[in-house]
């Protein structure tokens, strides 16, 4: 069975089968994306129950991101070689079993191993899910709508994770059984993943397989190279860019990736064919999708902390505060999927990135006052936060749909899995790099302001009336809020610059016409 025959066979089936196929793919993608944030709010509870040190606690999040980001290329290629539905199902089963192990973990080691295993499952399922859209849905409006749903799931996953994580963490029983709420953030994936995998053969057609063509040297060097890069970037966010292990990890990762590229140019069946990057429009899509998520992840990271720490929202209320982002992104993705039939992707993604950059600039203007004596100035959700959350959601909804379409358009059928893997890798590595870069900038801003405020406080204490202990404590809390806000706004401003870079790449290099997105074409067809 060939990819063309498979796709044709699926497309000729009932419309309801296409609908259910999209449901399965969307559920899988939502589950994979939200798992990056769903445990964030539960971290203090996990730390208390399992006795995890503060230094190791970050690995609950980082371990998942490391395995996911470093194995995406391999996962995408495995789908091309052994069947995308088969790899999709395997990824979901691995993800579900790993979630069960994590939810039942009795110690730190088992939980961290389960999170890494979840990352493996996600790396198998996510690129296969995107590739299945290209082989299941015919080019044109139906595929565009499918990509819109996929892009919406990718975009709202982080926000849904925060909301769901806040709600589940607050539970202390389920079906009458006593269970720590944080365990539910993991256990909820098990039935969803397993059921989705079992339903896949009924609604998803299998692709052609090419067993025996796996590039093992490329798989080893590429995976370890990406692991070194992702680990180094993640470590830089907490230990700094001058840390010995950060430098060693980045250097070894770069060296391995250079070796990987040399190998790929010489083998008959490379893990990452060079032809994936030779198309200008596709390369531009990958580049823009490297910078845009870097800025968006910063919004979730810092804004969720601002809403809870500075504005005093509870975890569940903070999750609800992001609901407008979900609604706006879904609406914008639906609108974008219709407009892309009539408007070139360059204009949709270009305007979308400009809207997102404007939103990040708006977040960079969150009010803070670091004068002394301290004045409390935390801002209002309705006036200082909500308008820019909505602007960001519409911007990203208009960006993700056309860029996802152009990133996999005109790929050879046998390369759609690896093409999807490259796109996902760009998002993960770009997000990790952006968050680490912005964390460094925010930390430096905070340190500088703390030093300045300390000197000002000492001067005020020496020349003015002394404050009571209660006044000193209240002033310290307000000062911490204001200093954090200044650091976060500095990060938002740099995020705005990153989004403008994504916009520039889009406007200059993304030159495919909207008419071409309505047709299938092999590699080598001119696209602009």
Query: How much of the chain exceeds pLDDT 90, in percent?
Result: 28
Q: Is 139 exposed, middle or buried (0-12, 13-18, 19+ CB in 10 A)?
A: middle
Check residue 453 and give its pLDDT: 67
Check residue 242 and give its pLDDT: 87
Question: Do 67 and 191 contact (CB within 8 A), yes or no?
Answer: no
The helix or strand, by DSSP H or E, that contains position 21, with its residue range, turns out to be helix 15-34
Calculate mean pLDDT across residues 261-281.
84
The helix or strand, by DSSP H or E, that contains position 289, with its residue range, turns out to be helix 280-305
277-459+468-528 — its CATH code? 1.20.1250.20
Q: Reduce the DSSP state of residue 24 to 3 states and report it.
A: helix
Check residue 276 and give its pLDDT: 82
Check residue 525 and give its pLDDT: 43
* Lowest mean pLDDT segment, chosen from 58-67, 146-155, 462-471: 462-471
Q: Which CATH class is domain 1-209?
A: mainly alpha
Q: Is 48 exposed, middle or buried (0-12, 13-18, 19+ CB in 10 A)?
A: exposed
Calculate mean pLDDT across residues 407-424.
80
Structure tokens at 172: 């202390």
- Give per-residue pLDDT as tens, 466-489: 655 665 565 666 677 778 888 888
Topology alike, domains 1-209 and 277-459+468-528: yes
- Give per-residue pLDDT as tens, 381-392: 888 899 999 999
Residue 515 has pLDDT above 50, yes or no: yes
In Å, what is the CA distance from 369 to each residue of 322, 386, 445, 492? 25, 21, 14, 17
Query: How much of the chain exceeds pLDDT 70, in percent?
Result: 85
Highest mean pLDDT among 15-24, 144-153, 187-196: 187-196
Check residue 240 and give its pLDDT: 79
Domain ranges of the chain: 1-209, 215-270, 277-459+468-528
**CA gap 355, 351 in Å, rounded:** 6
- Number of neighbouring beta carbons within 10 Å of residue 480: 16
Strand 177-178 versus strand 173-174 pairing type: antiparallel
Check residue 2 and give its pLDDT: 40
Check residue 178 and give its pLDDT: 66
pLDDT band (50, 70, 90) for residue 368: low
Calculate mean pLDDT across residues 432-458.
75
- Number of neighbouring beta carbons within 10 Å of residue 268: 6
- Give per-residue pLDDT as tens, 290-318: 999 888 877 777 888 788 778 888 777 88
Calculate mean pLDDT across residues 249-253.
94
pLDDT band (50, 70, 90) for residue 492: very high
Structure tokens at 222: 């590429």
Check residue 459 and give its pLDDT: 65
Q: How far apart are the first and last CA of the chain?
A: 32
Residue 523 has pLDDT above 60, yes or no: no
The helix or strand, by DSSP H or E, that contains position 331, with its residue range, turns out to be helix 323-339
Residue 10 has pLDDT above 70, yes or no: no
pLDDT band (50, 70, 90) for residue 458: low
Cα dihedral 299, 301, 302, 303 sign: positive
Residues 6 or more apart in contact with residue 451 via CB below 8 angstroms: none
pLDDT band (50, 70, 90) for residue 140: confident
Calculate mean pLDDT across residues 392-402.
92
Task: Give the mean pLDDT of the chain.
Answer: 82
- Give per-residue pLDDT as tens, 165-217: 878 877 765 655 667 788 888 999 999 999 999 999 998 888 777 766 788 89
Question: Do 139 and 413 contact (CB within 8 A), yes or no?
Answer: no
Alpha helices in 137-273 (DSSP H): 141-169, 181-187, 189-203, 216-239, 244-264
- Give per-residue pLDDT as tens, 330-361: 899 989 988 988 899 999 999 999 999 999 99
Q: Which of 209, 160, 140, 175 is closest to 27 using CA atoms?
A: 160
Check residue 462 and give its pLDDT: 59
Q: Is 379 left (phi over 0), alpha (psi -120 to 50) or beta?
A: left
Residue 378 has pLDDT above 60, yes or no: no
């Amino acid at each position: 069975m060939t990819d063309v025959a498979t796709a044709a066979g699926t497309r000729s089936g009932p419309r309801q089968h296409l609908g259910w196929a999209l449901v399965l793919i969307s559920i899988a993608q939502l589950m994979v994306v939200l798992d990056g944030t769903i445990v964030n709010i539960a971290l203090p509870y996990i730390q208390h129950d399992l006795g995890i040190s503060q230094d190791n606690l970050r690995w609950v999040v980082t371990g998942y991101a490391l395995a996911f980001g470093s194995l995406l290329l391999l996962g995408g290629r495995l789908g091309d070689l052994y069947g995308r539905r088969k790899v999709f199902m395997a990824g979901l089963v691995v993800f579900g079993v790993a979630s069960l192990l994590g939810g039942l973990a009795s110690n730190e080691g088992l939980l961290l191993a389960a999170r890494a295993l979840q990352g493996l499952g996600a790396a198998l399922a996510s690129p296969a899910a995107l590739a299945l859209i290209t082989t299941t849905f015919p080019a044109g409006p139906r595929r565009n709508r499918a990509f819109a749903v996929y892009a919406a799931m990718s975009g709202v996953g982080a926000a849904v994770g925060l909301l769901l994580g806040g709600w589940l963490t607050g539970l202390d029983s389920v079906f009458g059984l006593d269970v720590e709420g944080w365990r539910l953030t993991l256990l909820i994936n098990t039935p969803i993943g397993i059921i989705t995998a079992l339903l896949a053969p009924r609604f998803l057609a299998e692709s052609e397989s090419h067993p025996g063509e796996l590039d093992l040297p490329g798989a080893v060097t590429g995976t370890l190279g990406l692991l070194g890069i992702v680990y180094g970037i993640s470590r830089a966010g907490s230990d700094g860019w001058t840390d010995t292990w950060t430098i060693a990890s980045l250097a070894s990762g770069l060296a391995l990736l250079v070796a990987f590229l040399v190998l790929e140019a010489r083998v008959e069946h490379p893990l990452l064919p060079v032809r994936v990057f030779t198309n200008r429009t596709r390369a531009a899509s990958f580049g823009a999708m490297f910078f845009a998520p870097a800025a968006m992840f910063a919004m979730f990271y810092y804004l969720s902390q601002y809403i809870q720490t500075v504005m005093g929202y509870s975890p569940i209320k903070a999750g609800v505060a992001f609901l407008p982002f979900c609604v706006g992104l879904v609406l914008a993705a639906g609108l974008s999927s219709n407009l892309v039939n009539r408007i070139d992707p360059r204009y949709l993604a270009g305007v979308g990135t400009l809207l997102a950059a404007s939103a990040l600039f708006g977040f960079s203007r969150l009010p803070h006052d670091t004068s002394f004596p301290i004045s409390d100035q935390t801002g209002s959700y309705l006036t200082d936060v909500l308008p820019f959350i909505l602007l960001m959601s519409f911007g990203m909804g208009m960006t993700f749909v056309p860029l996802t379409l152009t990133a996999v358009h005109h790929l050879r059928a046998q390369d759609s899995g690896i093409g999807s893997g490259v796109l996902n890798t760009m998002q993960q590595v770009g997000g990790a790099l952006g968050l680490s870069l912005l964390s460094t900038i925010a930390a430096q801003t905070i340190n500088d302001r703390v030093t300045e405020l300390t000197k000002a406080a000492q001067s005020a204490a020496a020349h003015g009336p002394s404050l009571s202990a209660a006044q000193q404590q209240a002033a310290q809390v307000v000062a911490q809020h204001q200093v954090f806000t200044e650091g976060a706004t500095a990060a938002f401003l740099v995020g705005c610059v990153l989004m403008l870079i994504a916009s520039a790449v889009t406007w200059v290099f993304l030159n495919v016409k909207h008419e071409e997105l309505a047709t299938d074409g092999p590699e080598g067809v001119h696209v602009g």
